[in-house]
Amino acid sequence: MPHYTPKHASWLNQVEIFFSLLARAVLRHGDFSSRTDLLEKVSDFAIVHNKTACPFRWNYDGRPRQTGDEPVAAKEECHAR
């Protein structure tokens, strides 16, 4: 039986965020000499990410995202990296 998962589901967003970080930090400009080298760099990224990750403050309330014209709240120290 199919199950509907809304696009704003928190676990789906977390997976997308992780793969986006992986793509930007490792894969996009990566130069890999072999498959083993690729796997090692992805594994190293995952280990560092898991050691330095911090909770994400979800704020989805069903309203559209801000356009940038609205005032921006101060970022938490953890997300300023």
For 2-49, how does the pLDDT look when each residue is reduced to its tens digit (9 = 90+)?
767 666 666 777 888 889 999 999 999 889 999 999 999 999 999 999
- Locus of tokens 């069903």: 62
| Packing angle of the helix pair 35-52, 10-22 (nearest 10 deg) | 130
Q: Is residue 39 part of a domain?
A: yes
pLDDT band at 78 (very low <50, low <70, confident <90, very high): low
Q: Is residue 2 part of a domain?
A: no
Specify the pLDDT at position 46: 95
Q: Is residue 5 part of a domain?
A: no
Number of structural domains the chain divides into: 1
Is the CB of residue 45 less than 8 Å from the CB of residue 22? yes
Which two tokens mark 51?
């050691």
Enclosing domain of residue 18? 10-63+72-80
Q: Is residue 56 part of a domain?
A: yes
Nearest residue to 49 (alpha-carbon basis) of 17, 7, 4: 17
Q: Is residue 1 part of a domain?
A: no
Residues 37-65, mean pLDDT to the nearest whole number: 84
Specify the pLDDT at position 81: 47
Q: Is residue 53 part of a domain?
A: yes
Q: Is residue 55 part of a domain?
A: yes
CA distance 48 to 40: 12
